[in-house]
Amino acid sequence: MSAPLADRLRPKKIEDIIGQPHLLGEGKPLRNIIESGELPNMVFYGPPGVGKTTLASIIAKKTDRHLVKLNGTTAGTADIKEVVAKLDTFIAPNGILLYLDEIQYFNKKQQQTLLEYIENGAITLIASTTENPYFYVYSAILSRSTVFEFKSVTPSEAEKAVVRAFDFMAQDRGEEYSVENGVYSHIATASAGDVRKAINSVELCVLSANSENGKKLITLENAKSLTQKSAMRYDKDGDEHYDIISAYQKSMRGSDPDAAVHYLARLLEAGDLPSACRRLLVCACEDVGLAYPQIIPIVKAAVDSAMMLGLPEARIPLADAVVLVATSPKSNTAYGAINSAMADVSAGRTGPVPRQLQNMHYDGEDNPNKGQFYKYAHDFPGHWVDQQYLPDAIKHKKYYEFGDNKNEQAAKEYWARIKKR
C-alpha cells in the first residue's frame, strides 16, 4: 500500500514549502536561523497542515542532525530517555533534533524531564502545537525557546499545491484528467488553510472520479461533495473554539451585523448551538443593556425558539436576534455597576444595613432608638424621598452612571426633575 499523497508530495526544500513567507521568505528570521546552522530550541505554533512537521524534517537534513519524532498524545518520559540514549552514538554523531508534536499533551512532569536535556544542550527541541503555547507549554521551556507562529495558508497559495497534486497523480498513475473549471479554487478554499487537507481532497477526487473517453472527469460537483465539511476548523476544547466565540460576541458589541452573522454561521456549522445561544443572551444583557432593555425578553424568546427547533431551523430565530443585538444602541452601564459593586463586596467594603432598611424587629428595652424610621417612598411626591440606602461605610459610593443613549438620558432627566422638588 502506497503512502498518502500528502506524504509523497512533502517538500524536501524550504523553497518548496507552501505559505509562511513571513517566516521563510528571503531574509526572514526563521529562514536566517536555519541557514546559519546554529539552531535554538523552537516552538512552532499554528493550525494543522501548514508545514510545521515538514519544516522540522528539512531543518534536520540541512543541519545534519538525527531527527526523532514524538507525539505528545502517545509519548512519555521513557520515550525521552530512549532518545537520550542515542546521544554520542553512530546513530546521532552530530546531535539529536527532537520534534515533539502536540506538546500541549505533555504534562508538567514530562515537560520538566524534557527541560533537563534541552538545558544542557544534549537535545535540540522543536516542539509544535496547535494551541497557544503561552497557555499550554511549561514556562521554563518557553523561556529557553523561540516561538514562531505559523499562519493558515491562503487559498491562492493552497491552489498551487492543489495543481501540483493533480499533476503528480496524473504522472504517478499514468492517467489523464479533465478538471472542470472551479475545482482547483474550490478545493483550495474548502481546505481552510490546511495544505495537507487540500492534497488529501485531490487524492479523493481522483480515486472517486468516473472515466470518459480515456480521461478521468474531475467535476466540481464531486469536489464539493468530498469537501462539504472541510472548511470548518473547529475544536471545542481548542483555541479556535474560544476565538470564534470571542469574535462572535465582539462583532455584536461592535455593531457589525455582517461579522456577527458570519461567526454565528461558523458556530452553527460546527453544531455548537449552546454557545451561540449563551453568548447571544450575554451580549443582549451586557452590551445593549439599558439602552434598549426590551431586547432581553426578545432575545430570550429567540433563544428558546432556537433550542426548541434545533438545527438547522434554529439558525432563523438566532439570525434575527443576532442582527437585532448588533444594530441596537449599546450601553454597559449596568454591567459596569454590578462589576464595581462585586469588587467592593469581595474586598469587604460593605457594612451593616442601615437601620431604616432592616426588616422590622423587636427593640429591646435598653435600645434608646426605638422604631425603624423607614420612609415609604410612595407616600412622597414623585414616589421619591431623600433617604440613605447604602451602608454608612460607603454611603457616598456611586456604582451606576447614566449612559449617553436616549433611554438612559430620558431616565436621567426624569429623576433630575423629581429630585429637585
Query: What does the pLDDT look like over 400-414, one tens digit per residue?
Result: 999 999 999 999 999
What is the distance of C-alpha 142 from the center of its chain? 21
Using CB atoms within 10 A of its CB, is residue 317 exposed (0-12), middle (13-18) or buried (19+)? buried
187-229 pLDDT per residue, tens: 998 888 889 889 999 999 999 999 888 889 999 999 988 886 5
pLDDT range class, residue 75, cuts 50, 70, 90: confident
Mean pLDDT of 76-105: 80
pLDDT range class, residue 137, cuts 50, 70, 90: confident
249 vs 130, residue with greater confidence? 249
The CATH code belonging to domain 155-226 is 1.10.8.60
Closest Cα partner for 273 from 232, 236, 314, 321? 314
Distances (CA, A) of 308 to 161, 245, 304, 305, 322: 44, 22, 6, 5, 17
Is the pLDDT confidence value at 350 over 60?
Answer: yes
- E strand or H helix at 68: strand 66-71
Contact 389, 341 (CB under 8 A): no
Mean pLDDT of 178-190: 91
pLDDT range class, residue 107, cuts 50, 70, 90: confident
Residue 227 has a pLDDT of 80
Q: Return the CATH class of domain 239-327.
A: mainly alpha
pLDDT range class, residue 73, cuts 50, 70, 90: confident
Tell me the domain boundaries of the chain: 20-149, 155-226, 239-327, 353-420
Highest-pLDDT range among 78-92, 275-289, 351-365: 275-289
Is the pLDDT confidence value at 173 over 80?
Answer: yes
353-420: CATH topology? post-AAA+ oligomerization domain-like (1.10.3710)
Is the peptide bond preceding residue 133 cis, with omega within 30 degrees of 0? Answer: no
Using CB atoms within 10 A of its CB, is residue 205 exposed (0-12), middle (13-18) or buried (19+)? buried
Is the pLDDT confidence value at 362 over 70?
Answer: no
Residue 364 has a pLDDT of 55
Q: Residues of the chain with pLDDT > 90: what percent?
A: 54
Q: What nine digits make up the cell of 411?
A: 431616565
Residue 92 has a pLDDT of 61
The torsion angles phi and psi of 95, rounded to 5 degrees, stand at 100, 170
Is the pLDDT confidence value at 231 over 70?
Answer: no
361 vs 130, residue with greater confidence? 130
Is the pLDDT confidence value at 370 over 70?
Answer: no
The CATH code belonging to domain 20-149 is 3.40.50.300
Q: What is the mean pLDDT of the chain?
A: 88
